Structure 1
Amino acid sequence: MPQKTFQTNDVVEEQDSGFNYREILDAVILHWHWFAISIIGCLFVAFLYLRCKSPVYSTWAEVLIKEDDPYKRRMSGGGLADFTQLGVLTNSNGFDNEVEILGSKTLARRAVTNLKLYVRYSFDGMLRDEELYRTSPIVADMSPVDLDTLSMPVSLVITPLQEGGYHIEGEALRERFESNVKGFPVRVKTLSGWVTLRPNPNFAGASDGRTLRIGIFRPAIMAEAFLGATSIEPISKMTTIARITMSDTQRQRAEDYMNELIRVYNEDANEVKNEVALKTEAFVNKRIKIIDAELGTTESDLELYKKRNQLVDLMSDAEAAYKGLENYQTQQIELQTQMLLVKSLKEYVDNPANYMEIIPANLGLTDESLNSMIAGYNAKVVERKRLLKTAPESSPVVVSITNAISSLYPGIRHSLSTVYDNMRVQKRHVDEQYDLFIGRLSDAPTQERVLTDIGRQQSVKAALYQILLQKREENAISLASTVDKAQVIDAPESTIRPISPKKKMVALIALVLGVAIPAGLIYLLNLLRYRIEGRNDIEKLTDLAVLSDIFVAGDLKDGKRAIVVRENSNDIMEETFRSLRTNLGFVMKKSEKVLLCTSVIPSEGKTFVSTNLAMSMALMGRKVLVVGLDVRKPRLAKLFGLVTGHHGLTTYLAGEDSSDGFLREQIFNSGMHANLDVLPAGLIPPNPGELITSERLDGAFARFREWYDMVIVDTPPVGLVSDTLLLGRLADATLIVCRCDYSLKRNFNIVNTIHQEGKLPKMNLVLNGVDLQQRKYGYYYGYGNYGRYGRYGSYGSYGGYGNYGGYGKEARSGKSKSPREGGSYLHEEDFEDKD
């Protein structure tokens, strides 16, 4: 017969889903106070966090990183420039390098050092300190050498004194120091170096006697902190514009840091540019000096050569030499002609035959004085000859003229000799000059080559000198016109509202944590829980059907009965067992009369369930027998308050009389209802296993089937002894009782094994001990405080339920008496740790 799960309430489980939302909702409702406390606590912690946490603002700026040569890449890249324009390639290498430089630790440290951001100031506050920037009444500083060797921060606390002055205390290298000063400036000696304290000239407020805290850190450490809060990213792949973003608790400090970072970046870039220009200038000046010296040497050589060779300009000098040569050649001819004429005249004059004769004149002599003397002489000679025609030689006139001629004649002879000698000297000079000009014309090619070489060197050096002068001027212009490499497009600007902490996000996180903490705790407790708490646990552990849930009244104490089902009663316990009785009818056929009632371990309530189920069946008019086959730990007689003496099932099984009369003698009426009989176990036998397997027991059950409508057998726990498994041959169905907050989850491995191996017939489960007074059950079963079902009086008390704690020990006596004698049933505390 297929197993079913019969439910006694209207709770609909979400069986098809792996996530049981109703179970989660029940857990939330059950532990609502946990969630309320957790949410309130987390929100309070979030409130304290927001009050203690300094707001963080975001500051951003955009800068254009200029390229050194915008055309260099296009000129050198060839066809790659086309791909760059198409966006296939990007010119990001240089830009990426500049971004890395802009975000370098070196620049950050310079910016931090320049702005003295390595010193932090704050006023003491209640929940958080008030951080100061530019508004501290006192500024502190240390020497650069001490700052670079600062291994640990130096902390100072400055407290104004009521009587005037200040109390300074602090710590450096884990050594504390303190002193009192009347005012500032002052120098404080520490193990890390001297700390200089000065009044802030920009401080216009009042400290109001508040305590000022100062922390001095190593600039490199603060640079790392600023770098960690700064990000530099390009705004797109196709531009060289970088966005600088920074988060800080002080907006002005972040803006100042960004401006200083950009400034030192430009300063560094300009230093690199100027360094090249300065080195270029030094090189150019050095080369100009060298070239100037070489050029002067070349010009000196040229001058010396021209002086030595009497040159001004080779072409003009050659032309002049040629003209001079022609001139001197002409003079040579003229002088030779004159000399021949003078020589001829001298020979003529020296001839005695030509004395008193006319000397040849107008021959072309160039000496005018000689020509004049000859002309005067000839005039005298002509006059004498004319006189001699008319007068004798002795005539005084003739004698006078003859004397005059005689006086002129030696002078002419002397003049001719003198003129001839002068012409000969002049002729020698002209010949020398002629030879000189002839030499000049023959030396012209060599001089031209030498002058060309010297001129070439002079031209090269002059051109190089001119280039160097031009480069020096260009370099000077470059130095004078150096522009910043980073152009600020958007100046640093901070957000008005803080970016952290985000109040809504913190509240949301607190709310989530407020829910997650108790939820996680509940989940963890469920993971650590090793006992079942309800039907949900059973359904996760086994496929067996749960026929019913048995409730318990946990707030009832002493003096309450273990048999809670009574005649003419209509309470929740009656309804519970009525539901079990009804569901059992769907499991067992009318011909099936024997029902085993057992559990895995003691104290799970199998005897309670079996006796009350029997009472419920008896109330519906069926003849019911409760058989106590837990012969190792018998309890039925004590439960019903029966005085059995030596009577019981073991007496029948151990005896030799097998008559029906002897068997009936062992059966007692329960005293609770006429239709309910009880067959107690009787005396504890030494060999219970042999009695259970005897044929007399089989015969007895065959008679029970004839005499009764239902036989309910109370058996030992299956997890302790094998008696129940041996009794499986006698039964038609089996009820396994488990108890809330008591039964171990691992025990269901035993139940599943027995079921899979088919050792017991028609196994079904009954969940016992469901306490509706506990919210976890009240919400699940939907009863709550509904009428008397929420507070159901005496019902649910386990009364004198047995004690299987140390199996085999005597159960604690509840001082119970038979109902026939008017006694009361066992106390509930006797039941709590008993079966």
Structure 2
Amino acid sequence: MPNKTFQTNDAVEEQGSDFNYREILDAVILHWHWFAISIVGCLFIAFLYLRYKAPVYSTGAEVLIKEEDPYKSRMQGSALADFSQLGILTNSNGFDNEVEILSSKTLARRAVTNLKLYVRYAFDGTVRDEELYRTSPILADMSSVDLDTLSMPVFLEIKPLQEGGYHIEGEALEERFEADVKTLPVRVKTLSGWVSLRPNPDPTCVFDDRALRIYIYRPTIMAEAFLEATSIEPISKMTTIARITKNDTQRQRAEDYMNELIRVYNEDANEVKNEVALKTEAFVNKRIKIIDAELGTTESDLEMYKKRNQLVDLMSDAEAAYKGIENYQTQQIELQTQMLLVKSLKEYVENPTNYMEVIPANLGLTDQGLNNIIAEYNAKVVDRKRLLKTAPESSPVVVSATNAIASLYPGIRHSLSTVYDNLRVQKRNVDEQYDLFVGRLSNAPTQERVLSDIGRQQSVKAALYQILLQKREENAISLASTVDKAQVIDAPESTIRPISPKKKLVALIALVMGVAIPAGLIYVLNLLRYRIEGRNDIEKLTDLAVLSDIFVAGELKDGKRAIVVRENTNDIMEETFRSLRTNLGFVMKKSEKVLLCTSVISGEGKTFVSTNLAMSMALMGRKVLVVGLDIRKPRLAKLFGLVTGHHGLTTYLAGEDSSDEFLREQVFNSGMHANLDVLPAGLIPPNPGELITSERLDDAFARFREWYDIVIVDTPPVGLVSDTLLLGRLADATLIVCRCDYSLKRNFNIVNTIHQEGKLPKMNLVLNGVDLQQRKYGYYYGYGNYGRYGRYGSYGSYGGYGNYGGYGKETHTGKSKSRHGSSRYLREDHFDDKD
């Protein structure tokens, strides 16, 4: 297993967590200007929003919905008291229905129409218009017919002219119109109908320098808008008090609308409630006219009979019989009166036009059962008519009410017939008793009997006439004393402070958005990254230790050669390779001398790292040999400026001479330091695979171990050819070079596979190409100026790693270009672009 000594405890702990607080902190620090710009921008947008957003106020009122039928409520209360105490039942269905009626579109439309809220006024503003309510200098309106057929809003813009009059521009049905008028009122013709304009009678409502804008909407649309901004809810489960709340930018408009809504609700409820009384009034007046005519005829007959027969006084001997007759005559009058009332009601009920209509009540019927069933029937008819105002006849609630009425109607007819029959039986019995007393007066003059008959008829008509007059007065009193169904408990009142927009909430949202936008952008950019950018990425992708980070060098010291480690110098590059040299000492034992240096793909800087590492070790006084085993694409000779001719490793491997002298002839001094030798690859052979596996190579490395303190082998990329894996048998340790902003993250799958299968010994990583000027490497923060090393330049273009020695292609980005500027020598030598 690789040695992980070089990772801090914090790094090890953070690897076990998916949420890395240090990365978040580094991202915030490194991109603080993004956050600053975003927060300032979002707060500025929030300021503009709060500056120009119209404030919204809340208006509330509480109303008590009174129960309509106390008798029905008492009956239901006795039956449902136990359920109410248990909390199973709360408000009655009647209260729920009243709440629905109060929030119906019909009532909202009536309130909007009455207050003319379908017309909106505003003065033209720079950013937003200034809405007007009751303060517009000009009032507009349209006829109800045109308003009901209005498919699109009508727009008018009115400007006062300097010479007097007004200039009117507008749009109706997507067609513009304009006109000049001298005086108001005036009517303007549009495609949607005539628009009437008149001055506001309030003298304080005048024009300023801005134009007046008028919008006329269909009342139904405005009613829907008002309903959406209005909520009606019971304040508790056990009361019939409703809380009405409306949000609006104009407090006075909301209060006016709520007052008008309550008024039209009471008006509607009273219309339904008084329907029974109005029907009764019409019925009583009709009967009074008939009885009045009949009573006048009876009195006239009596007068003419007395005159014709010269009648003055009754017979004294019939006085006793008269008392009995008077007793039964009184009963006859009462029964006759009841029969006439029942008969009239029966005719009224049997009339098909009165079906589903209220039945006249409180006429003085003595049968209490008949009175109760008529009262129950009328209550259900009234409820049904109220439901029809907010629901169609096909709705379940209306159908249920209709069925209930239909079931009561035959019962009423049957009850009327039964009561009438009973009255006739009683009348017959009374008549029989009456006839007995009349028989006692057989000897009385015939005139007296006739007078009695006429008098009886007169009494019946007079009693009925008196009853009808009394009922008419009672009905008139009932109409005059009708009480509103909704009683206002708390009048509409608006809040002093607006409920929207909430400044603190908007500022908080802006602050959160100011942080979230750059954070989200950074997160998305991190998701889209497919190259490594630093040590953090490597630690997430593999368990191998990173021995050192190779920074980007600043200035070239010797032509195009990429040997940045020199004798008697002390800059950041020397320190970098000293660090790598030191850490490598913890990986390799003293007896282990062969170090394999490779990468996954070409261009990651393995030759740069191997040569400079060799130079750093040579400066310690150790005898170092750099072997160029990348024989498909040799570069060492060019890198050190050597003229090798036909000498090189391939010359030895392909020859037959195995002597030490022949092998030494292939080795060159680097020209950089006396302790640093180079064994270039030599000529490119046609069979590199066979040469790498030859025993002559094993024999050569056995002698290198004797001659040198350390042997560094520059090998081909492991992701392109298998030569490096074959060379693993010769090495004691392996360095895998990867490069910032160049190496692909997916290539670490190859590294991990090789490590898990143990194909290369003691694998460790080296991160190459770390540019301190790119402030995205949080863990290098502070190294930009280190001692006297100063700033180090950018490393320029990477170039494409393209074809590797003709043995295949690793297509990456074509002509990959660095985001970090350019350097004079790094293109060819520092990063092995053609390596």
Q: TM-score, normalised to structure 1's length?
A: 0.76
Aligned to 1:639: 639
How far 1:103 moved relative to its partner?
1.1
Distance 1:677 1:77, change over 3 A: same
Aligned to 1:238: 238
Aligned to 2:68: 68
Aligned to 2:18: 18
The CA distance in 2 between the partners of 1:462 and 1:701, in whole Å, is 146
Contact 1:548 1:579 in 2 (8 A): yes
Aligned to 1:82: 82
CA deviations over 1:764-786 (Å, ceiling 9, x no partner)? 22111111111112x32132543
What is the DSSP-based 3-state SS (H/G/I as helix, E as strand, rest coil) of the residue aligned with 2:231? strand
Aligned to 1:514: 514
Distance 1:316 1:487, change over 3 A: farther
**What residue identity is the alignment partner of 2:825?**
H
Distance 1:560 1:467, change over 3 A: farther
Aligned to 1:828: 826
The CA distance in 1 between the partners of 2:232 and 2:788, in whole Å, is 71
Aligned to 1:781: 780
**What residue identity is the alignment partner of 1:242?**
A
Distance 1:667 1:85, change over 3 A: same
Aligned to 2:97: 97
Distance 1:645 1:271, change over 3 A: same
Distance 1:443 1:289, change over 3 A: same
Distance 1:455 1:17, change over 3 A: farther
How far 1:753 moved relative to its partner?
2.2
How far 1:53 moved relative to its partner?
1.4
Aligned to 2:595: 595
How far 1:86 moved relative to its partner?
5.4
The CA distance in 2 between the partners of 1:503 and 1:189, in whole Å, is 45
What is the DSSP-based 3-state SS (H/G/I as helix, E as strand, rest coil) of the residue aligned with 2:603? coil
Task: Please tell me whether Structure 1 or Structure 2 has the larger radius of gyration of its CA atoms.
Answer: 1
The CA distance in 2 between the partners of 1:249 and 1:225, in whole Å, is 13
How far 1:145 moved relative to its partner?
0.5
Aligned to 1:372: none
Contact 1:318 1:441 in 2 (8 A): no
What is the DSSP-based 3-state SS (H/G/I as helix, E as strand, rest coil) of the residue aligned with 1:776? coil
What is the DSSP-based 3-state SS (H/G/I as helix, E as strand, rest coil) of the residue aligned with 2:768? strand
How far 1:17 moved relative to its partner?
2.9
Moved more, 66-75 or 721-730: 66-75
Contact 2:136 2:206 in 1 (8 A): no
How far 1:225 moved relative to its partner?
0.9
How far 1:741 moved relative to its partner?
0.7
Q: 1:805 aligns with which of 802, 805, 817?
A: 802
Aligned to 1:421: none
Distance 1:716 1:454, change over 3 A: farther
Distance 1:24 1:458, change over 3 A: farther
Give 5+ residue unaligned stretches, structure 2.
323-435, 808-822
The CA distance in 2 between the partners of 1:438 and 1:204, in whole Å, is 89
What is the DSSP-based 3-state SS (H/G/I as helix, E as strand, rest coil) of the residue aligned with 1:747? helix
Contact 1:558 1:828 in 2 (8 A): no
Contact 1:291 1:464 in 2 (8 A): yes
Aligned to 1:410: none
How far 1:620 moved relative to its partner?
2.6
Contact 1:92 1:237 in 2 (8 A): no
What is the DSSP-based 3-state SS (H/G/I as helix, E as strand, rest coil) of the residue aligned with 1:79? helix
Distance 1:455 1:253, change over 3 A: same
**Structure 1 residue 791 corresponds to structure 2 residue 790:** yes
The CA distance in 2 between the partners of 1:688 and 1:722, in whole Å, is 11
What is the DSSP-based 3-state SS (H/G/I as helix, E as strand, rest coil) of the residue aligned with 1:180? strand
Moved more, 700-709 or 295-304: 295-304
How far 1:175 moved relative to its partner?
0.5
The CA distance in 1 between the partners of 2:302 and 2:688, in whole Å, is 146
**Structure 1 residue 505 corresponds to structure 2 residue 502:** no
Contact 2:784 2:792 in 1 (8 A): no
What is the DSSP-based 3-state SS (H/G/I as helix, E as strand, rest coil) of the residue aligned with 2:42? helix
Aligned to 2:732: 732
The CA distance in 2 between the partners of 1:440 and 1:488, in whole Å, is 69
Give 5+ residue unaligned stretches, structure 1.
322-436, 811-824
How far 1:731 moved relative to its partner?
1.8
Distance 1:760 1:459, change over 3 A: farther
**What residue identity is the alignment partner of 1:208?**
D
Contact 1:58 1:495 in 2 (8 A): yes
How far 1:519 moved relative to its partner?
1.1
What is the DSSP-based 3-state SS (H/G/I as helix, E as strand, rest coil) of the residue aligned with 1:226? helix
The CA distance in 2 between the partners of 1:191 and 1:541, in whole Å, is 72
Contact 1:636 1:681 in 2 (8 A): yes
Identity within the alignment, %: 84
**What residue identity is the alignment partner of 1:727?**
L
Aligned to 2:747: 747
How far 1:132 moved relative to its partner?
0.7
Aligned to 2:657: 657
Q: How does 1:445-456 map to 2 (within 5 A)?
A: none
What is the DSSP-based 3-state SS (H/G/I as helix, E as strand, rest coil) of the residue aligned with 2:805? coil
The CA distance in 1 between the partners of 2:242 and 2:788, in whole Å, is 75
Aligned to 1:429: none
The CA distance in 1 between the partners of 2:604 and 2:47, in whole Å, is 50
User: What is the Cα-based RMSD across aligned positions, in Å?
Assistant: 3.9
Distance 1:537 1:88, change over 3 A: same
What is the DSSP-based 3-state SS (H/G/I as helix, E as strand, rest coil) of the residue aligned with 2:109? helix
**What residue identity is the alignment partner of 2:594?**
V
CA deviations over 1:307-365 (Å, ceiling 9, x no partner)? 99x9x9999749579xxxxxxxxxxxxxxxxxxxxxxxxxxxxxxxxxxxxxxxxxxxx
The CA distance in 2 between the partners of 1:302 and 1:702, in whole Å, is 161
The CA distance in 2 between the partners of 1:558 and 1:218, in whole Å, is 86
The CA distance in 2 between the partners of 1:556 and 1:519, in whole Å, is 39
**What residue identity is the alignment partner of 2:762?**
K
The CA distance in 1 between the partners of 2:141 and 2:533, in whole Å, is 69
Aligned to 2:178: 178
- Count of aligned positions: 702
The CA distance in 1 between the partners of 2:17 and 2:315, in whole Å, is 117
Aligned to 1:380: none
Aligned to 1:58: 58
Aligned to 1:217: 217
How far 1:733 moved relative to its partner?
2.0
How far 1:218 moved relative to its partner?
0.6
Distance 1:604 1:81, change over 3 A: same
The CA distance in 1 between the partners of 2:41 and 2:763, in whole Å, is 49
**What residue identity is the alignment partner of 1:830?**
E
The CA distance in 2 between the partners of 1:463 and 1:557, in whole Å, is 137
**What residue identity is the alignment partner of 1:478?**
S
Contact 1:625 1:708 in 2 (8 A): yes
Contact 1:594 1:733 in 2 (8 A): yes
CA deviations over 1:476-531 (Å, ceiling 9, x no partner)? 22211111111111111111221111222222211111111111111111111111
Contact 2:775 2:781 in 1 (8 A): no
CA deviations over 1:135-174 (Å, ceiling 9, x no partner)? 1111111111001100001111112223332211111000
Aligned to 2:204: 204
Distance 1:663 1:303, change over 3 A: farther
Moved more, 780-789 or 607-616: 780-789
Aligned to 1:32: 32
How far 1:568 moved relative to its partner?
3.4
Aligned to 2:328: none
Contact 1:783 1:789 in 2 (8 A): no
Distance 1:508 1:50, change over 3 A: same
The CA distance in 2 between the partners of 1:297 and 1:761, in whole Å, is 137
**What residue identity is the alignment partner of 1:206?**
V
CA deviations over 1:609-644 (Å, ceiling 9, x no partner)? 111222222223332221111111111111112211
Contact 1:549 1:576 in 2 (8 A): yes
Aligned to 1:672: 672
Contact 1:87 1:238 in 2 (8 A): no
The CA distance in 2 between the partners of 1:790 and 1:132, in whole Å, is 71
How far 1:12 moved relative to its partner?
8.1
How far 1:659 moved relative to its partner?
1.6
The CA distance in 2 between the partners of 1:661 and 1:291, in whole Å, is 155
